[in-house]
A and B are shown apart, each in its own frame.
Chain A
Amino acid sequence: MSHFYTDVDHFALLPAILLALFGCAIFLFDFLLGERSRRWQLTLVLPGLALTGWHLWKQGQIAPFTAFHGALTIDAFGLFFNWLFLLTAALIAVISYRYLEIEDEHQGEYYGLVLMAQTGAYFMAVGTELITIFVGLETMSLSFYVLVGFLRRSRRSNEAALKYLILGAFSSGILAYGFSILYGIAGSTYLTDIAVAVAARPAFDPLTVLAILTVSAGILFKISAAPFHMWAPDAYEGAPTAVTAYLAVGSKIASLALLLRLFLGPLGSAREAWEPLLVLAAIASLTVGNLAAVTQTNAKRLLAYSSIAHAGYLLLGLVAGNATGLQGIAIYTGAYVFMTIGAFLVLMAVHGEEIEDLNGFARRHPVYAVPMVVFLLSLAGLPPTAGFLGKYYIFLALIESGRYVLALIGAAYVAVALFYYFRLVRSMFLLPAIEVERPKASSLGLRVALGATGLITLGAGIYPEPFLQLAMRSLLK
């Protein structure tokens, strides 16, 4: 090992190397073996993820440490998010199998792209250097553009992919512009150097303000917060449902990790310049997300608007800025992963997208309908579920830091959220079923994932202690 690539560097890079290798192996097997390899793709994804998990665990033993002269920082924060990415990718891979078979697009590339997206997300969570972060973000985004358009013969999937690509590439461009200004301020691409240079300037220095405007616009796009949310409902609706779940969870929390890294790290000293922006974005997201969700007739679109509202709550945690707020964000993201994937996987089991497709679902499939109620309660933020804990800590943080009005606005929108989530419950339990022939969408993987997400969503609400500890340990120092 040379001076340019030490053992520590290799150790820090290993999870990403494994993910990329397994991703490439899947592409290759699919190309060489074709139809015959399809059944084995899933059995290649899961060992790949397990191996990655093993290395993440080994990294956790000696974290925190830096590699590549500070370009990668493996700390509790980065590892927390990487564990979430890992669980997300595993759940998505398991639930996609039957779905892709029904849609007749069961291709190996799908699993390869899922792993590639996770490779990019890895660098977004642990990268502490602008080029590393940018390339990681693009690796993830490019995989997602293709995944959204994965149903090649479906016009809606094409259209969703195109809209997501145009706005996604635009937001990446704006974000890169912000990065170039940050580089101009510091003369270095390392976040630690940028933090020093930004702190040496006044908070309302024109260059700093330009950097904050462009960087926050770029990232708000990626976490689908208003006023940069317009791509989300279209992309979520048109994408294959399994990909919608991955997009809503993987892409959003990876971008959230990046947001926290940048705004608490290098831009931390310019807090007075960015805080009003994020307050506005949070209030706008809560308003747009919750009010637009009320009138939706498509369940995927409804969940898209609800995910915009969730982005608003997460931003409020950052606005509060104290340790409770950050703990709240960690709990909220953890809960968000499981309740969102859970809700989408029930939609996959229904094999319908309109809310009326859910009519009478409870009678036909009580095994799916009852957990769906838990997920919806959690999304709305009612006890005893994980979603309640997340909202509770974020409201607590807002009150502790004296932002009573924001806490009140946040709490008021929970009532609106209850209304539209319970439209889904009503349609499942109270309305008579519309008789249509549906393919058998249930599968072993779907049921296992349903059990796992359901147990965690409910378990974290009933016995929260371990989750609170975990969240406390993973804060960004």
Chain B
Amino acid sequence: MHYVAVSLAMLLIGTAGLLTRRNIVIILMSIELILNAVNINLVAFSKHHGNAAGQVFAIFVIAVAVAEAAVGLGILLALFRNRETVQVDEVDLLKW
């Protein structure tokens, strides 16, 4: 049960970071934090139940996190080429 408390705290910290930070790179890091909260849960439950499915799930979550970061940085790079900024509040052509 302690693991769920830790992971829930990480989920909330990640969410807070996502909502309050202005730098897009830090926002992407906050998303990683949320996915790591998921991993803690999965591995803890896997140990608790004594089956490996949770660990397999965790590996998939890590792979997905990497893919998401790659696409995210790619899009950020395209944006940076056109706008020369990584601050979300300066990205305001569309009504947010």
Contacts and interface: CB of A to CB of B under 8 A. Distances in A.
Interface in B36-88: 37-38, 41-42, 44-45, 48-49, 51, 53-54, 56-57, 60-61, 64, 67-68, 71-72, 74-76, 78-79, 82-83
A166 B26 CA distance: 11
A157 to B, nearest CB: 9
Contact of B34 (A170, A189, A207): A170
A156 B37 CA distance: 33
B48 A162 contact: no
A183 interface: yes
A228 to B, nearest CB: 13
A238 B75 CA distance: 14
Contacts of B60: 131, 134-135
Contact of B68 (A134, A138, A159, A179): A138
A210 B64 CA distance: 23
Contacts of A183: 41-42, 45, 53-54, 57
13 contacts: A131-B56, A138-B68, A142-B68, A146-B75, A160-B94, A162-B79, A162-B91, A166-B24, A170-B31, A180-B57, A181-B4, A237-B94, A238-B93
Contacts of B7: 177, 180
Given A159-B93, A165-B75, A170-B34, 13 more contacts: A134-B64, A135-B60, A138-B64, A155-B93, A161-B78, A166-B18, A170-B31, A174-B11, A176-B64, A183-B42, A188-B53, A189-B54, A234-B95
Contacts of B51: 187-188
Interface in B8-48: 8, 11, 14-15, 18, 24, 27-28, 31, 34-35, 37-38, 41-42, 44-45, 48
B95 to A, nearest CB: 7
Nearest first, the 4 closest Cβ-Cβ pairs linking A and B are A187-B49, A173-B34, A180-B41, A184-B45
A169 B67 CA distance: 11
B72 A169 contact: yes
Given A176-B61, A177-B38, A184-B48, A159 B94 contact: yes
B56 to A, nearest CB: 7
Given A158-B75, A183-B57, A184-B4, A135 B64 contact: yes
B78 A173 contact: no
B24 A176 contact: no
B7 to A, nearest CB: 8
Contacts of B14: 173
Interface residues of B, number: 45
Interface residues of A, number: 43
Interface of B: 4, 7-8, 11, 14-15, 18, 24, 27-28, 31, 34-35, 37-38, 41-42, 44-45, 48-49, 51, 53-54, 56-57, 60-61, 64, 67-68, 71-72, 74-76, 78-79, 82-83, 91, 93-96
Contact of B37 (A165, A169, A177, A184): A177
A189 B45 CA distance: 11
Nearest to B76: A162
Contacts of B48: 184, 187
A473 to B, nearest CB: 33
Given A160-B94, A165-B71, A188-B53, A177 B11 contact: yes
B18 A233 contact: no
A238 B51 CA distance: 45
A441 B41 CA distance: 51
A162 B93 contact: no
B43 to A, nearest CB: 9
Interface string A354-394: 00000000000000000000000000000000000000000
A160 B75 CA distance: 10
A29 to B, nearest CB: 22
A237 B95 CA distance: 10
B66 to A, nearest CB: 11
Nearest to A149: B75
Given A131-B60, A161-B75, A156 B93 contact: yes
Contacts of A131: 53, 56-57, 60
B72 A153 contact: no
A169 B82 CA distance: 23
A130 interface: yes
Contacts of A165: 68, 71-72, 75
A387 to B, nearest CB: 28
Given A166-B31, A188-B51, A153 B75 contact: no
A38 interface: no
Given A159-B93, A189-B53, A149 B78 contact: yes
Contacts of A146: 71, 74-75
Contact of B27 (A166, A187, A237): A166
B31 A169 contact: yes
A423 interface: no
B71 A234 contact: no
Contacts of B95: 233-234
Interface string A327-365: 000000000000000000000000000000000000000
